A and B are shown apart, each in its own frame.
Chain A
Amino acid sequence: MDTALSEPASPVAAAGSTVVVCRALAASQHVTLGPLKLDCGVTLDAHRVAFRTYGTLNADKSNAVLICHALTMDQFVADPHPVTGKPGWGDTLVGPGRPIDPAKHFVICANVLGGCMGSTGPLDIRPGTSEPYNLSFPVVTIGDMVRAQAALLDHLGVESLFCVTGGSMGGMLVLQWAATYPERVFSAIPVATAARHSAQNIAFHEVGRQAIMADPEWHAGSYIKHGTRPARGLAVARMAAHITYLSEAALQRKFGRQLQGKDALGFGFDADFQVESYLHHQGKSFVERFDANAYLYITRAMDYFDLAAQHGGSLATAFRGSPTRFCLMSFTSDWLFPTAESREIVRALNSVAANVSFVEVESDKGHDAFLLDEPEMLRTLAGFLRGAGNARGLKP
């Protein structure tokens, strides 16, 4: 019925998630650290962090920049993805002459705990068994992810970060970093994010998770043992999520009601419209590089994020006495993490007299704008980093 979704999975996908992980590990640095005590009460005796670094740490170790990736991104921020071959997801942000420049900065980007690109997650073999964790992997939180990253920084000898930045879920990690390790964060740039996941966003995540779990090939999470993958469920989850990353205006501008490879309506349920075929493509290509169980775990971590709740219900308390210079950014057409969410963080920061800048960037590209070549965003980022660099005594 649905051509894009009923096709057999590509050779890469069929070979299984472990191949993806192996490629990710081969293409990045990784280190095994631990133990790591998780918010759920479980302690991981050891956890692996897969990461990429660019540039070099300067003599006084003052130029480290940590980039926190979003839900479905990974450590390959500025070099080609080992599975898809596509350029790094943060190519416009990180690179020569870019706001974050390996010639000036020591850039670190790590796959989050619970991820599927080499860091410890549900795909890992459960210690003492020969089976992957699957659903027996403990539910992790944004706080756990940040503690795992902090352990990585200890390993790398980075005591204090010049900047920690990220968008969407990456922005949640940035906020958690600033709240948990204020003395280690000189400046923080949370982009298109929120201090807690909204009911609407939890609802969208639940749709995605239910799509995965409704796929008979999911096998209650044990699909590797069964030699299958819940590719259709994961693709539907991605399709639904992808709509939330765009805006009505962007969809209309890009696709309108244009038909896909035909002149007239097909009077059936194949992809008549370009927007359908686009979504199918998004779903299909996602499945080739992402693991379904990891998707469940990471979306759950976002759902559980509520920075105020961690601090007695007061977001301001999370930042009291913070020495960090903050720069928040939102986008006018982002309805997943709307400007109001950023403003709430700004108000909390103001109420404790923190050093904060806030810019709302005009864009019709929706939530995804934070990943795109938005000149105004990049100009603002560059300016903020220049100012922070001066204050830090970095060479311009």
Chain B
Amino acid sequence: MADLNQKTVPRDGIRVDLQLIADMVAPGTRVLDVGCGDGALLDHLVRFKQVDGRGMELSQAGVNACVASGLSVIQGDADTDLQHYPSGAFDYVILSQTLPATRSPRDVLEQLLRVGKRAIVSFPNFAYWRVRMRLLFGGHMPQTEALPHRWYDTPNIHLCTIDDFRDLCAEMGVVVEKALSLDRRGRTLGLLPLPLANLIGEQGLFLLRRK
């Protein structure tokens, strides 16, 4: 199983961006996936990284699907339910594509880093060049693959850019251990100079820890 940690080895079919998250997780650790959806990432981590995995998901259908497939998942809300976990309960707390949908992203981030020794956060980058173009030339709220919703039905109420997120981390004194920008297919664009990452990354993916 050790070779599964090497990024070059092809693995079973989880999304490429989820695979990048999985690559950040050390085997045999304790992991909480907040907003775990149907449990694809969590299931992958449990099976291939032997993690002690837990999930939290807002949608009832998602929770039921997870539990029915043997995962430990509760129905819960990142904004209100993280506070019930003890500090340092997990090695990693993952928040994949859920941050813009939270009511208080900063509080949630604080909770992630209280409950987990490390946090892995991914989000759509609102400074992605296609987003900028849609707004600049189209005059409409941008719709992209990472932001598929229309303005009136989007769950995303706190959109941000990669640079915004970096600023918040700096302000909160959070250590950025790894920062990746991902392309449209969720593949990593490698280590780009910062302004470029903010322009051509469709998603940001951060590995964070407390100071």
Binding site for B on A (CB under 8 A): 325, 327, 346-347, 350-353, 355-362, 376, 379-380, 382-384, 386-388, 390
How far is B86's CA from A329's CA once the two chains are assembled, in angstroms? 23
Provide the residues of chain A in CB contact with B86, threshold 8 Å.
351-353
Please, how many residues of chain B have a CB less than 8 angstroms from a CB on the other chain? 20
B70 lies within 8 A of A359 (CB): no
Contact with A along B64-75 (1 / 0, CB 8 A): 101111111111
Besides the known contacts A353-B89, A355-B52, A380-B64, 16 further A-B residue pairs in the complex with CB atoms under 8 A apart: A325-B72, A327-B67, A347-B81, A350-B81, A350-B84, A351-B85, A353-B85, A353-B86, A357-B72, A357-B74, A358-B63, A360-B63, A360-B75, A384-B68, A387-B70, A387-B71
Between-chain CB contacts (< 8 Å), 28 pairs: A327-B67, A346-B74, A347-B81, A350-B84, A352-B86, A353-B89, A355-B52, A355-B54, A355-B72, A356-B74, A357-B67, A357-B71, A357-B73, A357-B74, A358-B75, A359-B60, A359-B63, A360-B63, A361-B64, A362-B60, A379-B64, A380-B64, A383-B69, A384-B67, A384-B68, A384-B70, A387-B69, A388-B70
Partner of B67 from the list A347, A351, A359, A362 (CB cut-off 8 Å) is A359
What is the minimal beta-carbon distance from B119 to any residue of chain A, in angstroms? 17
Which 7 residue pairs spanning A and B have beta carbons closest together? A387-B70, A383-B68, A358-B74, A353-B89, A350-B84, A357-B67, A347-B84
How far is B66's CA from A361's CA once the two chains are assembled, in angstroms? 13
How far is B68's CA from A352's CA once the two chains are assembled, in angstroms? 24
How far is B73's CA from A325's CA once the two chains are assembled, in angstroms? 11
B74 lies within 8 A of A382 (CB): no
Number of A-B contacts (CB under 8 A): 63
Given A358-B75, A359-B75, the answer on whether A376 and B85 have CB atoms closer than 8 Å is no
How far is B46's CA from A390's CA once the two chains are assembled, in angstroms? 12
What is the minimal beta-carbon distance from B133 to any residue of chain A, in angstroms? 43
Within 8 A of A (CB), among B33-64: 52, 54, 60, 63-64
Name which of B54, B68, B73 has the most chain A CB atoms within 10 A of its CB.
Answer: B68
Partner of A360 from the list B60, B70, B73, B81 (CB cut-off 8 Å) is B60
Residue of B nearest to A326 (CB): B72
B70 lies within 8 A of A383 (CB): yes
B85 lies within 8 A of A350 (CB): yes
Residue of A nearest to B69 (CB): A383
How far is B66's CA from A253's CA once the two chains are assembled, in angstroms? 31
What is the minimal beta-carbon distance from B86 to any residue of chain A, in angstroms? 6
What is the minimal beta-carbon distance from B32 to any residue of chain A, in angstroms? 9
How far is B60's CA from A362's CA once the two chains are assembled, in angstroms? 9
What is the minimal beta-carbon distance from A189 to any residue of chain B, in angstroms? 11
A380 lies within 8 A of B85 (CB): no
How far is B43's CA from A390's CA once the two chains are assembled, in angstroms? 14
What is the minimal beta-carbon distance from B43 to any residue of chain A, in angstroms? 10
Provide the residues of chain A in CB contact with B69, threshold 8 Å.
383, 387
